[in-house]
A and B are shown apart, each in its own frame.
Chain A
């Protein structure tokens, strides 16, 4: 009984984080939401009796994917519609 409530709670949290990740316009928050999705996936893999896959997803999905996304955001734009370096497109910002 507790097992079913726990799994449902984790699934609802995961779908909520996915919707937040694609709606949010500030890209840093979206990347952190993707990391949260990977963390909850790792917990779900453990509850489905797959410990190797849980270890791999926790190490790769949470740590390495998030750091590579953050370095990309640092070298490019921060908001989704950001025209920092182009003068002819600055008037097109909504």
Chain B
């Protein structure tokens, strides 16, 4: 039973990474490329948290009454890494979108082929 669950979640996160990469490589509109990179971020975070899961584990918080439950807890180290990664991913997306607004004001188009062809 646990096997099916593991295969399902790993397959879901890897397919999210591949779908986002396809959008970032093939699409021609700049906003679609940024949407694709945001989807890749989500897939990677899900993959990292799934690695730290222990079967029948519990959250790594020592509430009153659970002081000796350290053997049944899931791995807390990937969760701390993913917390930082989510915030930094959002910051990079915000700066990229502000650059897109400036680019549109100058060239009046958002296709990457047209922006390469224009003279300065």
Contacts and interface: CB of A to CB of B under 8 A. Distances in A.
Interface of A: 1, 3-4, 7-8, 11, 14-15, 18-19, 21-22, 27, 30-31, 34, 37-38, 41, 44-45, 48-53, 56-57, 60-61, 64-65, 68-69, 72-73, 75-77, 80-81, 83-86, 89
Interface of B is mostly: helix
Contact of B31 (A8, A18, A56, A73): A73
Nearest to B107: A86
Given A56-B87, A83-B109, 18 more contacts: A1-B1, A4-B5, A11-B9, A11-B12, A15-B12, A18-B16, A22-B19, A27-B31, A34-B39, A38-B42, A44-B46, A48-B74, A56-B83, A64-B90, A68-B93, A72-B101, A80-B32, A85-B109
A49 B55 CA distance: 11
A7 B8 contact: yes
Interface of B: 1, 4-5, 8-9, 11-12, 15-16, 19-20, 22-23, 27, 29, 31-32, 35-36, 38-39, 42, 45-46, 49-50, 53, 57-59, 61, 74, 79, 82-83, 86-87, 90, 93-94, 97, 100-101, 104, 108-111, 114
